[in-house]
Structure 1
Amino acid sequence: MNENLLWPRYAEPTDLPAIEAVPLADRGLPESIHALLSRAAARWPDRTALTVLPDAARWREPVHRTFAELLADVHRYANLLHELGVRRRDAVALMSPNCAELIPATLAAQLAGIATPLNGGLSRGHLTELLRRSGARVLITAGPQLAPEVWDTAQSLASELDAILVLRPTGTTGAPTPLPGIDGVRVGYLDALASEMDMSTFDGEPPRSSDLAALFHTGGTTGAPKLAAHTHANEIADAWMIAANSLLEADSVLFAALPLFHVNALLVTLLAPLFKGQQAVWAGPLGYRDLALFGEFWTIVEHYRIAAMSAVPTVYAVLAQCPVNADITSLRYAMVGASPLPAAVRENFQSHTGVTLVEGYGLTEGTCASARSFPAAPRPGTVGQRMPYQRVKIVRPGTWEELPLGETGVLAIGGPTVFPGYVVARDEHGHVLDGLGKLSDGWLDTGDLARVDADGFVHLAGRAKDLIIRGGHNIDPAIIEDALLSHPQVTAAGAVGRPDEHSGEVPVAYVTLVPGATATAEDLLAWAAGRVPERAAVPKSVTVLGALPVTDVGKPYKLALRADATRRVLGEALAPFTGVDVDAVIEDGAVVATVAVSSEVDETGVKAVLARYAVPARVEVRP
C-alpha cells in the first residue's frame, strides 16, 4: 500500500479535482475488511482501537481493546464460525445491541462469511423472512443478561437456525447465566466457545474485494425490509473516502452510539477509523436511546477528548438543551445525517455548544456516505459535496433522462460505492441479486429530489414520494417542518399532504413537544403561519403526538402520518352519515381508505363523498 498516495489533502471543496486526478485503483486500498484490520494491527498493535462503555451511568468503567487484541478476537470468532460450517458465501446473522463482543463478532462474520446485522426490534415475522432470504443458519445474539427481549426473540427463531452464539454485557465478569438447550441447535456463549480457537490467523478462505461483505436490511415500511448487499470493495472504498478527511488526525477520537445494524455505525465509526488507527469510544447498548447519556454527555466528551461524533438530527435537538458543563474544546465538529437537518436544530445546537454541525448524505444502497460538508466552507442549504470518485446526476422522475445542471429532479449516484443489488433468492452460486428498478447501468436511483450545482454540492428538495402537491404546486415539507422546529417547545415535526376535494391535497403537520410544554395546537398553527415562507405551504392543521412514527429501521415514516391525515379528513366528511367507520391503511406503499357501513346507510351517498378525494377507497357493507 502506497502511503503517499493513500492520504491526499481533503479539507476543502477545492481539493476534489486534485484527489480525482489520481485513479482510485492507484491508491492501493486494502483488498478486504480483514486486510484493513490486519494492516491496522501490524502498524499500531498497542494503540487503543476500541473503548466500550458498559452504559451511560458506568462510563468510567470501559473495556479497552488494542488493534492487535481486536484482530485476535476477530480471528478467534471467525475460526469458530468456520468450524460451524460457515463458508465464503454463507450469511451470519447478528442481532444485538452494541457491546464489546458485537464489534469483533461483526468483523468476524465479514471474514468467515457475510455479516447480516438485524434490528432486534423488527417483528418476528420480518426477522424470520430476513433469515430465510439471507440463508443464515448461525445467529450471534444478545443473551439474557444483555437484552432479555432480544434473547426471547432469538429463541423464537431457533427453528431457522443451526447455532445460536450468545453475547454478554460489556465488562461482565463471573459465571454467565445458564442457557437452555434447544433440540438440533448448538447454543453457547460466543467468547467461551471461541476461547481455544487460533487467534493468530484465519483458517478459511480470505475474502476478495468482489466478495459480499454484508447484507443490510433497509426499508420495512410495507412488507418485509429488503436486504441490500455490500461487497468488500464497496465498504473499503466508502470507508477510505470517510477516513481521507484531513480534519481528523491519527490521534482523533470518535464517539460511536448508533446501532451496528445501521451502516453509519459500521462505516463511519468502525471501518473508517481502522485506516488511520483512530480510537472509537462506543456508548452502551442503548446508545443515544439511553436518557442518562445526555446528562453525562459533555463530561464524556471532555474525559475522552472526543474530536468527532455522528448522530441524527433528533439527538442534536436534545443536546442543544443539555447544559454544557465541561470543557468540550476537543470536539472539532459533529456529523449529522439519516434525515434532513432542520435549520432550527442546526442554529440551536451551534449557538448552544459552539460546535459546527457538518451535514452528510448517503443511503444503504450507496454503502453509506456519498456527500460531505466542510466546517470551514459552509454551504447552507446543501448536504455537502459529492465524495471523491462518486458521480452524481439529476434525472427526470420516472425516467433516467439526465436534466441540465441546476434543475431539480431525482438524484442518481454512480461509482465504487453503489451496491450490487438486493437479495431476491439463493442458488448454487450464492445470493441472487437484483436492483429492483433502482439500478441502471451502474447508476443508483436514490428516490431523493435534488439539484446539483457546478461544484458538486447536493441541494436536497425532499423525498420524491414525500412532496406535497397542492393544486399542481409542489411544496417541500421541510419548509413547514423548519418553521415548527424553530418553536422552543417543539422537538420534532413532520409535514404531509392531507387529501382535499378542491386542491388534491393540502399540507398538515404533526409535532412532538418537550416535557411539560404549554403550547397548544392552535398556538403552533399560528406560529407556523407567521414563519412558513409561502402562503400555500402554511399547514391547515397541527396535531400534537407523543412520538412521530418511524420505520422498523428507525427512519421517519411519513406514510403513517398521511394515513392518519386521511382518516381524519374522511371521518369529518362522512360524519353526517350514521353507522360509518372510517380507517386508512397502508398497502404497497400507498394509503387506502377503508370505510365500513351498516346496511341501513346510503352506500351510494358515501361513495359520492369519497369520490371527491383522490384517495383509493374501499367500502364494505356490514350485515
Structure 2
Amino acid sequence: MSLTTPGGTPGTRPAREWPAFAEPEDVERIEAVPLAERDLPATTYEILVRAAEQWPDRVAVSVMPDAARWAEAVDVTYAELLATTAQVANVLRSRGVTPTTPVGILSPNCLGLVPAVLGAQAAGVAVPLNGGLSPQHLATLIERSGVEQLVVASPDLDEAVWAKVTELARGATLRRVYVLDPTDGTRTARASLDGVDVEYLLDAARAEAPAFDDPHTADDIAAVFHTGGTTGIPKLAAHTHANQVTDAWLIAADSEADADEEATVLAALPLFHVNALHVTMLAPMLKGQQAVWAGPLGYRDLALYGQIWKIVEHFRIAAMSAVPTVYAVLSHCPVDADISSLRFAVVGASALPQAVRTSFEEHTGVPLLEGYGLTEGTCASARSFASHPRPGSVGKRLPYQPMRVVEVADDGTWTDVPEGGVGTLLIGGPTVFAGYVTGRTADGFVLDHLGKVRDGWLDTGDLARLEDGFVYLTGRVKDLIIRGGHNIDPAAVEAALLAHPAVADAAAVGRPDPRAGEVPVAYVTLKPGTTSTEAELEAFVADSDLEAAAKPKTVTILEALPVTDVGKPYKLALRADAAGRALGGALADLPGVTGVEGVVGDGSVRVVVHVDATADPVAVRRRLDEYAVASEVVER
C-alpha cells in the first residue's frame, strides 16, 4: 500500500533560519526577536507545503503495520504526503466540509491517519477522539462538537472502535463515515452502516486533485481536543492554527536534537493526544525530519518492548517521547542493538520518579529530559536541557511563553508570589488555547474559557515555584489535601514514600474524615523483585521527616496506580477508592448496608451506598452527612 504521488515537482523556497536553542540562556535571546518576525507558517497545512517544497524526496513518515512487523514499515515522502493530504482535504470539501466544519477522527495510528488529520485541519476542523472512551462519552463529545462527518478505523484495523461506531451510527448526529484501512491494506470485507454514508477515505482521495487551496488563517480553529480522562465527560479545548504552529515551532527549535538535520523521531503515542500531534508530527515536519509511527497500539503493544532497541538501530532514532511508565518498562528491556543514535528521550504527562530516571539512564546511557505542558496551553510550555540539568525541575519555560506564580485569594484575585515561592502556575503568550467548546452556531464554535484564562493568562491548576525561569511542580491545586484547614502537598507525602527502597511509585490523596474534613492516605506500587507490607510502609512513613499532619493514615499497595489512556496519573479514581473505604467503615455496623463504593462521575467523586429492606434510611443518611462527600443510597 502506498500513498498517492503528486502530479508535479514542487518548487523551492529559501530555508528559514533557526535560532540557537541549546542552553537555558537562549530563551531570552530568542525572545529578543519578535515572534511576528520569525516567518512561521500560517497554518498546519502550510507547514506541510513548505516541507514538501524544500524536501520533496525526503521520507516524512514511516508507518509500521504493528510492532512485530517493524521491518515492513511503509515510507511516505513529503511530496507524497502533501499530495495525499490535499486529496483528503478535497474529498472533505466536496462533501460539504467548510473551514468551520468539525470532522471527527476515531482511529488508532495507521498509514492513513496522518493525512486524515492534516486534511481535516486543512478543509475544516479536526476533532480527534479517544477510541478508549465509552460509546456514551463519545456520543456526548460528538454531539457537543457538532460532528456529523467522522473518520474511523475499519473493522480490520480496530474491531472495538468499529463496534462503537456501529453504536454511534444509531444516533441522529452522524451522516457520513470515512473508513481507514490497516497500514498493510488488509480488507476482509467492505464496511457498511445502516442509515449512514460510508466510504473508504483513501479510495475516495485517489479521484481528487493532489493540490489544495487552504482557506484558513492563523486565527482560525485548527482542532478541538478533549482534555483527557477515563470517567466523566472531558472538556473540548479549541486550538487555533497559530497555537499549533507556534508550539510546534518552539518544540522543533530544540538545537540539542539536531546532531543530524535528518534526525528521526519515534512516534508511539496516539494521535488523539496533543503530544503526538505536536511533538512527533508537526515539529518534525518543520525541519523535514522523519517520524517513525509504531503501529496502531504504539506503546500499548507488548511486542514493541521486545523490539524497541532494534527499531532504534534500524531507523537511527534520535529522539523519542513517552510517559514515565514506558521508561520504567524500558529500563528492564535488554539493550540488544546499537542505540548510539538516540540522543535523548523526552518524558512528560506525569511526574518522573527519580528511581525511573536513574534506572533508565544507567540501563541505556540515554538522558531523560522532562517537559511540561497541558492541552489548554496547546502542548509544550517548558523543556529541560541535557547539558544543564536541574534536578527536580520539569524544565525552563519556552520562549514567548511567560510564566507567573500567584496566590489565589478566596475571592479569586491573584497576587504574585516572590521568586521561589509556591503558588498557582500561570502561562501567557501565543499558545494559550482559544477556549472550550460550549456550543455551535451557523458561524462555528461557541468558545468560553470558563474561568481558566484571565487577561491572557492561563490558570494551569498546577502548584509550582519558578527559579530563573525553571518550573518546579509541587502538585495540583485540586489535589491539595486540606486537613482541618491545613494545606498538605501530596507531593511531599509521595516523596517520603518513594524513599523506601521497595516503592516504585506513590500517590497521596485526601480521604473524607468527619472531624478534619480530609486526612491523607497513600497508594503505592512496588518495584519488581521486592517485597513489603502495608504495615511496614505505614511505619516507615510515620518515622519520616514529614510534618505530623501530612503523615498518611493508611498506605495501600496496588499492582498499578490508575492512569488515563495517555498515561497521566488518575487521582480521581484513588480519591473515589479512599472515599468508599472511609464511608464503608463508617457504615459497617449499621444493619441492611450491603455494599459501599466510591465512584467518579463528571469529574467529581461520590459514594454509592447499597442497602436492602432491613436498613434504616434515616440512620444511614445521618452517618453519611458527617462526611463532606456527595453520596446516594440505592436499595436493591
TM surpasses 0.5: yes
Moved more, 48-57 or 497-506: 497-506
Shift of 1:584: 3.2
Structure 1: how far apart are the matches of 2:243 and 2:625? 49
Structure 2: how far apart are the matches of 1:607 and 1:182? 48
Shift of 1:458: 1.3
Q: Secondary structure at the match of 2:223?
A: strand
Find the counterpart in structure 2 of residue 267 from structure 1. Answer: 278
Find the counterpart in structure 1 of residue 6 from structure 2. Answer: none
Summarize the Cα distance change of 1:131–1:486 in structure 2 as closer, same or farther, 3 Å threshold. same
Structure 2: how far apart are the matches of 1:134 and 1:15? 40
Structure 2: how far apart are the matches of 1:37 and 1:97? 22
- Structure 1 residues without counterparts, runs of 5 or longer: none
2:376 to 365, 379, 391: 365
Find the counterpart in structure 2 of residue 559 from structure 1. Answer: 572
Summarize the Cα distance change of 1:394–1:235 in structure 2 as closer, same or farther, 3 Å threshold. same
Summarize the Cα distance change of 1:308–1:180 in structure 2 as closer, same or farther, 3 Å threshold. closer
Find the counterpart in structure 2 of residue 248 from structure 1. Answer: 257
> Is it true that 1:437 corresponds to 2:451 in the alignment?
yes
Structure 2: how far apart are the matches of 1:585 and 1:53? 39
Find the counterpart in structure 1 of residue 5 from structure 2. Answer: none
Aligned amino acid, residue 437 of structure 1: G
Find the counterpart in structure 2 of residue 14 from structure 1. Answer: 25
Summarize the Cα distance change of 1:596–1:292 in structure 2 as closer, same or farther, 3 Å threshold. closer
Find the counterpart in structure 2 of residue 549 from structure 1. Answer: 562
Summarize the Cα distance change of 1:523–1:299 in structure 2 as closer, same or farther, 3 Å threshold. farther
Aligned amino acid, residue 229 of structure 1: A
Shift of 1:552: 6.2
Q: Secondary structure at the match of 1:350?
A: helix
Find the counterpart in structure 2 of residue 138 from structure 1. Answer: 149
Whether contact under 8 Å (1:255, 1:282) holds in the other structure is yes
Aligned amino acid, residue 474 of structure 1: N
Shift of 1:485: 4.8
Whether contact under 8 Å (2:264, 2:292) holds in the other structure is yes
After superposition, what is the alpha-carbon deviation per residue over 1:218-251, rounded to whole angstroms, capped at 9, x for unaligned? 1446642211101101001000000111112222
Q: Secondary structure at the match of 1:13?
A: coil
Whether contact under 8 Å (2:265, 2:290) holds in the other structure is yes
Structure 1: how far apart are the matches of 2:249 and 2:205? 31
Whether contact under 8 Å (1:233, 1:416) holds in the other structure is yes
After superposition, what is the alpha-carbon deviation per residue over 1:424-461, rounded to whole angstroms, capped at 9, x for unaligned? 111121111011111112111111111222x2111111
> Is it true that 1:287 corresponds to 2:301 in the alignment?
no
Find the counterpart in structure 2 of residue 474 from structure 1. Answer: 487
Moved more, 187-196 or 582-591: 582-591
> Is it true that 1:110 corresponds to 2:124 in the alignment?
no
> Is it true that 1:452 corresponds to 2:463 in the alignment?
no
Whether contact under 8 Å (1:447, 1:464) holds in the other structure is yes
Whether contact under 8 Å (1:392, 1:411) holds in the other structure is yes
Find the counterpart in structure 1 of residue 392 from structure 2. Answer: 381
Structure 1: how far apart are the matches of 2:235 and 2:196? 27
Q: TM-score, normalised by structure 2?
A: 0.91
Q: TM-score, normalised by structure 1?
A: 0.93
Aligned amino acid, residue 182 of structure 2: P
After superposition, what is the alpha-carbon deviation per residue over 1:276-306, rounded to whole angstroms, capped at 9, x for unaligned? 1111111111111111111111221122111
Q: Secondary structure at the match of 1:396?
A: strand
Whether contact under 8 Å (2:42, 2:242) holds in the other structure is yes
Q: Secondary structure at the match of 2:416?
A: coil
Structure 2: how far apart are the matches of 1:497 and 1:117? 33
Whether contact under 8 Å (1:32, 1:232) holds in the other structure is yes
Aligned amino acid, residue 431 of structure 2: T
Find the counterpart in structure 2 of residue 576 from structure 1. Answer: 589
Shift of 1:505: 2.3
Structure 2: how far apart are the matches of 1:164 and 1:491? 44
> Is it true that 1:81 corresponds to 2:92 in the alignment?
yes
Summarize the Cα distance change of 1:303–1:509 in structure 2 as closer, same or farther, 3 Å threshold. same
Aligned amino acid, residue 275 of structure 1: L
Structure 1: how far apart are the matches of 2:165 and 2:305? 30
Moved more, 188-197 or 595-604: 595-604
Structure 2: how far apart are the matches of 1:393 and 1:311? 27
Structure 1: how far apart are the matches of 2:621 and 2:215? 63
> Is it true that 1:225 corresponds to 2:229 in the alignment?
no
After superposition, what is the alpha-carbon deviation per residue over 1:493-541, rounded to whole angstroms, capped at 9, x for unaligned? 3221112344432222223456786443334444545667555433322
Aligned amino acid, residue 329 of structure 1: S
Counting matched residue pairs gives 617
Structure 2: how far apart are the matches of 1:129 and 1:164? 17
Whether contact under 8 Å (1:393, 1:402) holds in the other structure is no
Summarize the Cα distance change of 1:126–1:552 in structure 2 as closer, same or farther, 3 Å threshold. farther
> Is it true that 1:179 corresponds to 2:190 in the alignment?
yes
Structure 2: how far apart are the matches of 1:408 and 1:3? 46
Shift of 1:610: 4.1
Summarize the Cα distance change of 1:186–1:520 in structure 2 as closer, same or farther, 3 Å threshold. same
Find the counterpart in structure 2 of residue 211 from structure 1. Answer: 220
Structure 1: how far apart are the matches of 2:543 and 2:129? 44
Summarize the Cα distance change of 1:2–1:177 in structure 2 as closer, same or farther, 3 Å threshold. closer
> Is it true that 1:235 corresponds to 2:244 in the alignment?
yes
Moved more, 129-138 or 104-113: 129-138
Summarize the Cα distance change of 1:594–1:460 in structure 2 as closer, same or farther, 3 Å threshold. same
Aligned amino acid, residue 510 of structure 1: Y
Give 1:138-537 correspondences, 5 Å limit: 138-158=149-169, 159=171, 160-172=173-185, 176-199=187-210, 201-202=211-212, 205-220=214-229, 223-249=232-258, 250-397=261-408, 399-405=412-418, 406-453=420-467, 455-485=468-498, 490-513=503-526, 518-526=531-539, 528-529=541-542, 533-537=546-550
Q: CA RMSD in A?
A: 2.5
Aligned amino acid, residue 167 of structure 2: S
Q: Secondary structure at the match of 1:478?
A: helix
Q: Secondary structure at the match of 1:461?
A: strand
Summarize the Cα distance change of 1:553–1:126 in structure 2 as closer, same or farther, 3 Å threshold. farther
Structure 1: how far apart are the matches of 2:142 and 2:273? 17
Moved more, 63-72 or 570-579: 570-579
1:60 to 42, 51, 71: 71
Structure 2: how far apart are the matches of 1:141 and 1:127? 13
- Structure 2 residues without counterparts, runs of 5 or longer: 1-11
Aligned amino acid, residue 61 of structure 1: E
Summarize the Cα distance change of 1:138–1:608 in structure 2 as closer, same or farther, 3 Å threshold. closer
Whether contact under 8 Å (1:252, 1:307) holds in the other structure is yes
Shift of 1:62: 0.6
Percent identical among aligned pairs is 59
Summarize the Cα distance change of 1:318–1:108 in structure 2 as closer, same or farther, 3 Å threshold. same
Structure 2: how far apart are the matches of 1:598 and 1:102? 51
Aligned amino acid, residue 217 of structure 1: H
Shift of 1:551: 4.2
Shift of 1:95: 0.5
Q: Secondary structure at the match of 1:99?
A: coil
Structure 2: how far apart are the matches of 1:85 and 1:486? 59
Structure 2: how far apart are the matches of 1:311 and 1:96? 20
Structure 1: how far apart are the matches of 2:275 and 2:511? 33
Moved more, 362-371 or 595-604: 595-604
